[in-house]
Structure 1
Amino acid sequence: MTVYNLYIFDKYGTLLYYGEWNRLKKSGITLEEEAKLMYGMLFSLKSFVNKISPTDPKDGFLNYKTSKYALHYFETPSGLKFVINTDVVSTNVKEVLQQLYSKIWVEYVVRDPLWVPGAPVTSDLFKSKLDEFIRQSSVYSIKNI
């Protein structure tokens, strides 16, 4: 299983953090443009799922898969949005995202007295703890090409 990249958005669509691990293909646009496209797609998918679902979607939109990658989505009650792209065989990613939120985000961002809510995360401690967490998670491996 392979992790490609991670986006963390606030409830207003501001990109708070972006990280990548095994991403081989670049989008060819700036990170800001890519983040806007990602957030717009998430907004549209969430709306589509809520309107088209034949039953009441308790959890709403959680993931989708293509032939090349899978996108996994986790939203907190406060509106933070965690998006991770993995290979298509990754499993238990929802639990990884929940742990990322509770063990890494809350510990190293929310409790950081220097972080201003809504501002991009620049803490080196957060970045190193996140990298360590992702590399030790069940969804991380290095893609052999």
Structure 2
Amino acid sequence: MLSSLEKRNLGVPQLPGQGCSFHSFHTNTYKLSFMETPSGIKIILVTHPRTGDLRDPLKYIYNLYVEYVVKNPLYTPGTPIRFELFNTALDQYVRSLS
């Protein structure tokens, strides 16, 4: 049974990356890092198994998504993302992580 404190906190909006206890898992061949935003956007990176914590880079990638996709008046939610500026910025950022 939930305490009264827990009941008051149900449904409270959280910042991207908060409220989720699953951030990553690894095998001997890869590491999967995961972030789900309050709006339901899921960002996943598959990297080398010894890659460190990627929570901050996942938040940065989400911010790129917001700037280049969500704020773009030509984007229709639910359609494939085909914006060269987003693809270029994302590619440059991911390459800078290695």
Q: TM-score, normalised by structure 1?
A: 0.53
The structure whose residues are more often strand, as a share, is 1
Q: 1:119 aligns with which of 76, 79, 96?
A: 79
Q: TM-score, normalised by structure 2?
A: 0.77
Gaps of 5+ in 2: 1-18
**Equivalent residue number for residue 80 of structure 1:** 41
Cα deviation code 1:90-138 (max 9, x no counterpart) = 1131110011111x1111011111100111101111111110111112x
Q: How many residues align?
A: 80
**Equivalent residue number for residue 101 of structure 1:** 62
Cα RMSD, aligned residues only = 1.1
The aligned runs of 1:50-61 (5 Å cut-off) are 58-61=19-22
Q: Which has the higher contact order (CA 8 A, sep 6+)?
A: 1
Gaps of 5+ in 1: 1-57, 141-145
Runs of 4+ in 1 over 3 A off after TM superposition: none
**Equivalent residue number for residue 64 of structure 1:** 25
Cα deviation code 1:31-79 (max 9, x no counterpart) = xxxxxxxxxxxxxxxxxxxxxxxxxxx5232111100100000000000
Helix, strand or coil: the match of 1:112? coil
Counterpart amino acid of residue 81 in structure 2: V
Counterpart amino acid of residue 59 in structure 2: Q
- Quick one: distance in 2 between partners of 1:92 and 1:99? 13
- Quick one: distance in 2 between partners of 1:60 and 1:92? 13
